Amino acid sequence: MADTKALTTRAADFSAWYNELIARAELADYSPVRGCMVIRPNGYAIWEQMQRALDQMFKDTGHQNAYFPLFIPQSFLSREAEHVEGFAPETAVVTHGGGKELEEPLVVRPTSETIIYAMYAKWIQSYRDLPLLINQWANVVRWELRTRLFLRTTEFLWQEGHTAHATEAEAEEETRRMLGVYRTFMDQWMAMPVVTGRKTDSERFAGALRTYSCEALMQDNKALQAGTSHNLGQNFSRAFEVTFQTANGELDHVWNTSWGVSTRLVGALIMTHGDDAGLVCPPRLAQYQVVIVPIYRTDSERGAVLEAADRVRKELVAAGVRVHLDAREGMKPGAKYYEWEGRGVPLRLEIGPRDVAAGAVVLARRTGGKKETLPMEGLVPRMFQEMERMQTDLLEAARARREANSIRGATKQLFLDYMEAGGGFVYAGFCGSNDCEAQVKEQTKATIRVLPDEEFRSVPAPATCMWCGRPSVAEAVWAKAY
């Protein structure tokens, strides 16, 4: 690492902390192209872990992977009116190929609904072809005005699920199911609690009937939209003539859904668990769950220590633990500790001559607390135990932080004061009018993150709109957002 100084603290400058952490942990780097990032091996490894877990969950819910092209005929985008309005301003367009001007410009996909539903129109004829449940892992490009590593880059990696169903009810069920999959993933893998719910029209996906979202609260009390699931209704099937014959011979348009999460989740992970020493990675997503640092002075100590360390490593590998033995020479143990802490490795085992003699290892946890000497005997189950505990502790800590920064039943004044004081989630009554939403955004920068699902709602439900005092039609969760 180039820089050995401490990171800017979160309290001093959250944004600087975030950028420095990414550099320190070697998660990503700026590319020569404005707004684009290079995902470095340490960052990509986390994404791979995410992919692995999510991909399995998609397959377990009946989806198959496929791949659709990067280029989309420009005319495709225009077929769905709201969709083109939403995305046209931020597309990159290819006008030349092979040295010649193209007859029709090609849009670099900002999302793939149009090209996928154009294909579905060919593939779907009968209700027997439904449901069609496809996911793709891909890169997309959105020409954003302002970018931030992982959170909003010009090109980003994601997955997008696209499904077609025979009935509206089935599509709605799928939309909700995948939102649930995301929520489970964020809870159980990322140790990141989320509030789920429906988006208001102003935040709805361009072309969707309804958009649902998972919203997480970062350590600076700004909300991050971590994953979305859209019920597209028949908007795209009408635009792309995706029709099928029903069991009784009638022709109908299919009902579609789409849902996605992106490399933004790596940013979410950083801002949920990171501390002033660097990344804190939940064990289930860590590239290395355990790092072993050997300590020795003499050659004979070196031999014995490395032999013991490698034995521990092999035992853990055999048990399926992702473990790394840091046997680099000429580097003091302390320097290695700092490095692995910055990278967020959950557990560190130190093995020195004393430990070899005692048949023991020293355990240090990334989340703090005293170091602990453990017998080598029974180490493997102990490591699993530690990882499980850390995983649940991280989730609990994140949940507690979120709750400490959420208020319910806010009045207008309380709301204004709260946003002024730094913000967080505010649960409050909402009259349903675009005007109120726009006014709040104008005055406080806060937006409605979701109209929360039932389990997140306040009891009793708020009776009036926090802003205008008219009767409330739904409770809303407000926050300033990324």
Residue 101 or 329: the one with the smaller Cβ distance to RNA is 329
Q: Tell me the HSE value of 184 on the side-chain side, using a 13 A CA sphere.
A: 11
Phi, psi of 150 (to 5 degrees): 70, -40
Of 80, 113, 355, 386, the one binding RNA (CB under 7 A) is: 355
Helix (H) or strand (E) holding 361: strand 360-365
167 binds RNA (CB under 7 A): no
CB of 332 to RNA, least distance (A): 3
Residue 246 or 300: the one with the smaller Cβ distance to RNA is 300
Neighbouring CB atoms inside 10 A of 140's CB total 18
CB of 65 to RNA, least distance (A): 20
Beta bridge partner(s), residue 462: none
190 binds RNA (CB under 7 A): no
Which region, judged by CB under 7 A, interacts with RNA, from 96-104, 138-146, 235-243, 315-323?
138-146
CB of 299 to RNA, least distance (A): 8
CB of 461 to RNA, least distance (A): 27
Do residues 174 and 192 lie in contact, with contact meaning Cβ atoms separated by under 8 Å? no
Q: What is d(CA 169, CA 205) in angstroms, rounded to the nearest whole number?
A: 19
Of 70, 88, 362, 397, the one binding RNA (CB under 7 A) is: 362
Do residues 406 and 427 lie in contact, with contact meaning Cβ atoms separated by under 8 Å? yes
Of 69, 89, 320, 378, the one binding RNA (CB under 7 A) is: 89
174 binds RNA (CB under 7 A): no
Of 127, 259, 337, 467, the one binding RNA (CB under 7 A) is: 337
Non-local (6+) Cβ contacts of 56 within 8 A are none
Q: What is d(CA 366, CA 316) in angstroms, rounded to the nearest whole number?
A: 18
Residue 309 tokens, joined:
């360390």
CB of 470 to RNA, least distance (A): 24
Which region, judged by CB under 7 A, interacts with RNA, from 171-179, 186-194, 347-355, 375-383?
347-355
CB of 225 to RNA, least distance (A): 4
Of 55, 88, 105, 152, the one binding RNA (CB under 7 A) is: 152
Classify residue 442 as exposed, middle or buried by CB count within 10 Å of its CB (0-12, 13-18, 19+): exposed
388 binds RNA (CB under 7 A): no
Q: What is d(CA 154, CA 438) in angstroms, rounded to the nearest whole number?
A: 27
Of 283, 352, 424, 452, the one binding RNA (CB under 7 A) is: 352
Restricted to residues 247-276, the positions that interact with RNA (CB under 7 A) are: 262-264
User: For 384-423, where are the E strands, in sequence order?
Assistant: 406-408
Beta bridge partner(s), residue 164: 132, 256
Q: Smallest Cα–Cα separation from 190: which of 270, 117, 285, 125?
A: 285
Residue 130 or 325: the one with the smaller Cβ distance to RNA is 325
CB of 51 to RNA, least distance (A): 15
Beta bridge partner(s), residue 37: 30
15 binds RNA (CB under 7 A): yes
User: Where are the alpha helices (H) located in 153-234, listed in sequence order?
Assistant: 168-188
- Per rule CB under 7 A, count of chain residues that contact RNA: 61
CB of 87 to RNA, least distance (A): 9
Specify the length of the chain in residues: 482
Residue 31 or 243: the one with the smaller Cβ distance to RNA is 31
Beta bridge partner(s), residue 115: none
Restricted to residues 24-83, the positions that interact with RNA (CB under 7 A) are: 30, 33-35
Q: Burial code of 375-412, b = ≥16 C-beta within 10 A, e = fewer?
A: ebeebbebbbebbeebbeebbebbeebbeebbbebbee
Non-local (6+) Cβ contacts of 141 within 8 A are 91, 92, 108, 109, 110, 154, 155
Of 62, 320, 334, 422, the one binding RNA (CB under 7 A) is: 334
Non-local (6+) Cβ contacts of 462 within 8 A are 409, 427, 428, 429, 472, 475
Residue 191 or 268: the one with the smaller Cβ distance to RNA is 268
Of 59, 96, 311, 371, the one binding RNA (CB under 7 A) is: 371
Phi, psi of 167 (to 5 degrees): -135, 160
CB of 279 to RNA, least distance (A): 13
Of 26, 203, 252, 453, the one binding RNA (CB under 7 A) is: 203
Of 138, 364, 426, 476, the one binding RNA (CB under 7 A) is: 364
Of 3, 60, 250, 420, the one binding RNA (CB under 7 A) is: 3
Q: Smallest Cα–Cα separation from 190: which of 414, 392, 481?
A: 392
CB of 36 to RNA, least distance (A): 9
Which region, judged by CB under 7 A, interacts with RNA, from 114-122, 307-315, 334-342, 378-386?
334-342
DSSP secondary structure letter of residue 352: -
Binding site for RNA (CB under 7 A): 1-6, 15, 19, 30, 33-35, 89-90, 142, 144-149, 151-154, 156, 203, 205, 225, 228, 262-264, 295-297, 302, 329-335, 337-339, 341-342, 350-355, 362, 364, 371, 445, 481-482
